[in-house]
Chains A and B, each alone.
Chain A
Amino acid sequence: MSCRKLLSEISNYLDGEIELTVRQELEEHIAKCPNCWVIFDTTRKTVQIYQGCECEPYPIPVSLQTRLQEALRKLCEESQTKQD
């Protein structure tokens, strides 16, 4: 496997969406190529860091929740009026 081919397969590898033979070739390559090992390792960490940090929910401001609920209520009333 070439370095370029390895780059193109990193994502598939991390997602477990890779053919067995390609996976074996990739593992053999990163065991021998220091630069590719670093790229592989730091790409994996990139995804892990995002997934670890982003577990925290994005809080919805109360004002936005209120605004949305009011808009939905109004929309609901309008659609019921149309049906009547």
Chain B
Amino acid sequence: MQFSGAAGKMQFGTMATFDNPPQAQPLPRTGPPPSDDLELVEQAKQGSLDAFSKLVNRYDRKIFRLTQHITGHREDAEDALQETFLKAFSHLKQFHGDARFYTWLVRIAVNESLMKLRKRRTTNAVSLDEPIETEDDFLPREIASWDPSPEQRYAQTELREILDRTIHSLPPIFRTVFVLRDLDQLSTEETAEALSLSVPAVKSRLLRARLQLREKLSQYFRRETMS
């Protein structure tokens, strides 16, 4: 298979040689921070609202990011966030510490967000296990080099808008996996656990999400040619 389009040959010539390998190191992952989640959960199970409030303060921003990215609607995201923590508090006794508390929370948040999304849509076409992947759906159409740090062309607020808008243009199944893996930095296994998906399904959807985002972001980040 040959891709069409013009590649950045100057960049290729200067970067991809055996003497100067293409700097293809795995992206760093920070992993989950050490925490006393389980201790707080135990206290909350005994009725301590203070302990549960500490868990809320620890994770509410990340859950808010997730609900915003899935619903794409501010009001729905706020409601989904609230219902996530209320449901978590009500069902705390069902959490036995087999997974991280945050992974359990994510599972609730995803369900709440998808319910909001379904209500907003006229069809019931929102699911995390739709078999919409095809053999060719990730083949690239846009092959243009980007500058080394193309995001610096934009002010922070404008960049955030571009990134949010682009994420939201993905199907829910792709953007949810992308948010959990690349923004929340959950492991593949944790993401699979949180979404009730298989590990291969998570990997496949992450690949498609990244390639589709790359394709869509090219219009903003492609190298500007001299006229």
Q: Mark A25-55, 1 if CB is under 8 A from B, else 0.
A: 0110011101111111111111111111110
Interface of B is mostly: helix
Are B49 and A68 in contact (CB-based, < 8 A)?
Answer: no
Q: Which residues of B contact A72 (CB under 8 A)?
A: 49, 52-53, 56, 85-86, 89
Which residues of B are in contact with A by a Cβ distance under 8 Å?
Answer: 1-3, 5, 7-9, 11-12, 15-18, 21-22, 24, 26-27, 29, 47, 49, 52-53, 56, 60-62, 64-65, 68, 78, 81-82, 85-86, 89-90, 138-140, 143-146, 150-151, 156, 159-160, 163, 167, 178, 182-183, 188, 203, 206-207, 210-211, 213-214, 217-218, 221
Q: Which residues of A contact B68 (CB under 8 A)?
A: 58
Q: Which residues of B contact A69 (CB under 8 A)?
A: 53
Are A38 and B7 in contact (CB-based, < 8 A)?
Answer: yes
Are B47 and A68 in contact (CB-based, < 8 A)?
Answer: no
Are A40 and B24 in contact (CB-based, < 8 A)?
Answer: yes
Are A10 and B210 in contact (CB-based, < 8 A)?
Answer: yes
Q: Give complex CA distance A51, B30 in Å.
A: 11
| Given A27-B22, A73-B49, 20 further pairs, Cβ under 8 A | A3-B1, A11-B206, A11-B207, A16-B26, A17-B188, A31-B18, A35-B2, A35-B5, A37-B16, A42-B217, A44-B27, A45-B150, A49-B163, A51-B182, A58-B62, A68-B82, A71-B86, A72-B49, A72-B56, A79-B47
